[in-house]
Amino acid sequence: MVNELIHKYCSGNEPLEQILLKHSNDVAQRALKIARAHPELGADETFLWEAAMLHDIGCCRVDAPGIYCYGSEPYIRHGILGAEILRSEGLPRHARVAERHTGTGLTASEIVRQGLPLPPHDFTPETIEEQIVCYADKFYSKSRPDVEKTPEQALRTLEKFGSEGIDVFRAWMERFD
């Protein structure tokens, strides 16, 4: 199901499809490693893997030529666009992961304060699976698919989202590593 959906929405864009598969697989493997190291969290491993594999499906609709995305929307919207796709496919839980993985999640006040082209809603990870995928995603970039970031490098990428995100990431580091 996962590969079929990625293939369907990449619409023959082989380079994007390969980037998404590589990035998402890296995120999924890290997410599963966390879940297996912390059974006390009670994460649903099957759902976790699927959601990690599909969290960036909205990239097919954004304009990010550096990673072969030739859509019309700004990149910051890839999470909510992915959520729309996944809801249309009957996957509402997966959609929540997609819309909540930007930074360490975005609050309505952050969206308004930064003037982001997103609806002014809270898009913060709530379930353990949403949190794990969001955390695991910070270690991998689609523009540098063969590089795994250190925790310090991942923290630096969060600076643009404000200090709250850094605090959330540090708390996840303590909880998940």
Question: For the chain, how far is it from start to end, CA to CA, in angstroms?
Answer: 30
Residue 123: pLDDT band with limits 50, 70, 90: very high
Confidence band (pLDDT; 50, 70, 90) for 159?
confident
Q: What is the token pair recorded at 90?
A: 């009957």
pLDDT for residue 84 is more than 80: yes
Chain mean pLDDT for the chain: 96
| Tokens matching residue 133 | 């995928």
Report how far residue 69's alpha carbon sits from residue 62's, in angstroms, rounded to the nearest whole number: 6
Cα separation, 70 vs 64, in Å, equals 6
User: Per the confidence metrics, is the pTM higher than 0.85?
Assistant: yes
State whether residue 73 is helix, strand or coil. strand
Q: What's the total number of domains in the chain?
A: 1
What domain range is 113 assigned to?
2-176
Q: What is the CATH number of the domain that holds 47?
A: 1.10.3210
